[in-house]
Amino acid sequence: MVNGGRAGAGRQYAGSILISFDIDGTLECGDPPGPIALEAMRQAKARGYVVGSGSDRVRSDQQRLWDIHKIDVDFVGGKHHLDEVRNQFEATRYVHIGDTDVDRYYAEAAGFEFMHVEDLDGISDALAGTEFFDWLG
C-alpha cells in the first residue's frame, strides 16, 4: 500500500492503465455485494495495472479491507477526489468502475473513463478472465 507513502514521490508507472474500483455495489466484498470478483483486482495487479479503490468509505476503512483480503493496492482514494489519484500516477488510461451516477459524475469530472458494473452483466463470470482485460486493452 502506497497511499501517503508515495505522496510527493512524483507520478508513477508511466504507460500503465489505472483502474479505480468503487466498493459498495461494485465488488463482491461490498455492502451490498457487487458483481466484480476480487480475483479481477488480483489479476489486474498481476498484469501490471495500477489498481486501487475509489469509494466514499473513509480511506482507513478501505485500506483495512485490502489488508484483510491481502490485496496490495496502489492507492486508496476518495470517489470525490479521483483527480488526486490522476495527479499521483502517470497512466495511459484512467478507468473508474462503479455502480451509480455519482460514480460516473465524479469519474468523468476527473477525466476518467467510467465503466458501469451493469455493463458487465453478461460477462460477470469472466470478470477475472480475458474479456475484462480485452475491454481494458
Question: Which positions lie near Mg ion, rule CB under 5 A?
Answer: 22, 24-25, 99
Toward Mg ion, which CB reaches closer, 16 or 40?
A: 40
Q: Tell me the closest approach of the beta carbon of residue 102 to Mg ion, in angstroms.
A: 8
Toward Mg ion, which CB reaches closer, 25 or 129?
A: 25
Q: Tell me the closest approach of the beta carbon of residue 98 to Mg ion, in angstroms.
A: 5
Q: Tell me the closest approach of the beta carbon of residue 8 to Mg ion, in angstroms.
A: 30
Q: Tell me the closest approach of the beta carbon of residue 51 to Mg ion, in angstroms.
A: 17
- Are the beta carbons of 89 and 15 closer than 8 angstroms? no
Q: Can you read off the three cell numbers belonging to residue 74?
A: 496502489
Using Cβ positions, the residue closest to Mg ion within the complex turns out to be 25
In 3-state terms, the chain is what percent helix, strand and coil (to 5)?
A: 40, 25, 35
b or e along 14-35 (b: 16 or more beta carbons within 10 Å of the residue's beta carbon)?
eebbbbbbbbbbbbbbbeeebb
Nearby residues of 91 by Cβ (< 8 Å), 6 or more positions away: 13, 14, 15, 16, 17, 18, 50
Toward Mg ion, which CB reaches closer, 67 or 101?
A: 101
Toward Mg ion, which CB reaches closer, 74 or 99?
A: 99
